[in-house]
């Protein structure tokens, strides 16, 4: 038995090494790119060299002027366009597109293993940083720690743990009848209870706090337009989270819930389907980011036969999706701050970059859409200068594509090279 266990461990270790890339043997890595997109200005710079030391960028500039250490490992991408590793500020790595009662059969350990698979898919798709906003029993904390320890491949993670919800709200378990007494681990009602829950989540490893401010689409018995937490409860959540150094993301579809969440001081509104002028004004006043999750609507419409949505959830989706497109386009035009998020798990992980084209259809320029997943998302996460740009001091998180993504943003759906922290995890150009 011991021999079998050892054999299994070795096999798993070899698999992880094979998917995680080969660690560099030198402290220095040099990436030479045919073109580099400056995501802040939109300029496409030719013949650029990035010098990396211990996983961080130490210099960028023209290849002719680059000072290259003698021990550097060279990576040649002469026909590619490089840009910063992409950031997705709204994912659920431990979840899959399961919306019916079959999801009740999934254990938390199984969800953690699903998360390991999805973390790898997300990284290979070019998303080197991800904010995970909601997972049961701190399974996302375990996933983050496993990635940081090098046990499994995946993006840099900021995680929320269990999302806060009112009893019977969108983030509560509302699929089982009374006799099961089923309550999700993030449920808290009243000011004292939400303060306790924020502190408990932080105790067990949460990097940020997720709160369900309104009803949702993929839950029974609630209405996306109805507010759930009161303004006073949300103010208490935000006050404790901010005092303890955590940002707050608010799931909010309804207009009143969006406005209340912004007034309470949350850092981002997730979804924003029924955002109106009052909500837009509140968000602009308080500097709140909008994290729209748009491509999921396309995917759900195109894959109705795969989703197996219970009829009440399908009815809500059919009502919310077109309203969200109209209202979010108005929010874009009104100048709210926007950060990139997908809600991946509503559709298969790894398709995250399909979000860009929908954002462009709703009014953003390709460059603005790219900025939502780089400099804007980095600012929302509190990691400006570390991720979202290719500048000295930033982590060497780099992706490369064919062509110019400012001219055709769909090129980001076909990332061919991924580096995280100076380590190559994908290189189709080397084939």
Catalytic center residues: 210, 343
301-332 core/surface letters (b: 16 or more CB in 10 A; e: else): eeeeeebebeeebbebbeebbeebbebbbbbb
Q: Which helix (H) or strand (E) holds 399?
A: strand 398-401
Distance CA 362, CA 292 (A): 11
Contacts of residue 366, Cβ cutoff 8 Å, sequence gap at least 6: 356, 360, 405, 406, 407, 408, 409
**Residue 52 DSSP SS3:** strand
Q: Which helix (H) or strand (E) holds 263?
A: helix 255-264
User: How many CA atoms lie within 13 Å of 312's alpha carbon, on the beta-carbon side?
Assistant: 12
For the chain, the C-alpha Rg in angstroms (whole number) is 22
Asked whether 249 and 290 are in contact (CB, 8 A), the reply is: no
**Direct distance between the N- and C-terminal alpha carbons of the chain, in angstroms, rounded to an integer:** 40
Asked whether 227 and 255 are in contact (CB, 8 A), the reply is: no
Cβ burial, residue 175 (10 Å; 0-12/13-18/19+): middle
């Amino acid at each position: 038995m011991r021999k079998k266990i050892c054999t299994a461990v070795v096999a798993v270790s070899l698999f992880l090494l094979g998917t995680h890339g080969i660690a560099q043997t030198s402290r220095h890595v040099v990436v030479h790119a045919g073109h580099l997109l400056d995501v802040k200005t939109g300029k496409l710079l030719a013949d650029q060299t990035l010098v990396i030391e211990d996983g961080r960028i130490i210099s960028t500039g023209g290849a002719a002027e680059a000072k290259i250490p003698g021990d550097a490992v060279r990576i040649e991408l002469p026909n590619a366009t490089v840009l910063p590793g992409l950031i997705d500020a709204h994912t659920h790595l431990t979840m899959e597109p399961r919306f019916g009662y079959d999801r009740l059969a999934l254990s938390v350990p199984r969800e953690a293993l699903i998360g390991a698979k999805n973390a790898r898919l997300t990284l290979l798709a070019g998303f080197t940083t991800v904010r995970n906003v909601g997972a049961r029993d701190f399974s996302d904390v375990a996933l983050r720690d496993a990635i940081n320890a090098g046990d499994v491949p995946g993006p840099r993670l900021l995680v929320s743990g269990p999302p806060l919800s009112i009893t019977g709200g969108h983030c509560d378990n509302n699929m089982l009848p009374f006799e099961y007494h089923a309550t999700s681990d993030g449920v808290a009602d009243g000011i004292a209870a939400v303060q306790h829950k924020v502190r408990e989540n932080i105790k067990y490893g949460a990097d940020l706090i997720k709160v369900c401010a309104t009803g949702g689409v993929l839950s029974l018995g609630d209405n996306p337009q109805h507010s759930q937490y009161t303004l006073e409860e949300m103010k208490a959540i935000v006050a404790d989270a901010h005092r303890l150094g955590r940002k707050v993301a608010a799931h909010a579809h309804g207009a009143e819930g969006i406005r209340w969440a912004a007034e309470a001081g949350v850092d981002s509104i997730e979804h924003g389907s029924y955002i109106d002028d009052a909500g837009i004004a509140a968000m602009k006043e308080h500097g709140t980011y909008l994290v729209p999750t748009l491509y999921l609507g396309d995917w759900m419409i195109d894959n109705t036969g795969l989703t197996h949505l219970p009829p009440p959830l399908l009815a809500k989706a059919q009502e919310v999706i077109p309203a969200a497109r109209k209202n979010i386009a108005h929010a874009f035009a009104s100048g709210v701050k926007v950060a990139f998020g997908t809600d991946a798990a509503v559709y298969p992980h790894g398709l995250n970059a399909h979000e860009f084209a929908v954002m462009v259809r709703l009014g953003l320029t390709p460059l603005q859409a790219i900025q939502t997943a780089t400099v804007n998302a980095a600012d929302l996460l509190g990691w400006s200068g570390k991720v979202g740009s290719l500048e000295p001091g930033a982590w060497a998180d780099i992706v490369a594509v064919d062509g110019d993504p400012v001219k055709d943003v769909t090129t980001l759906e076909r990332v061919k090279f991924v580096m995280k922290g100076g380590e190559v995890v994908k290189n189709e150009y080397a084939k």
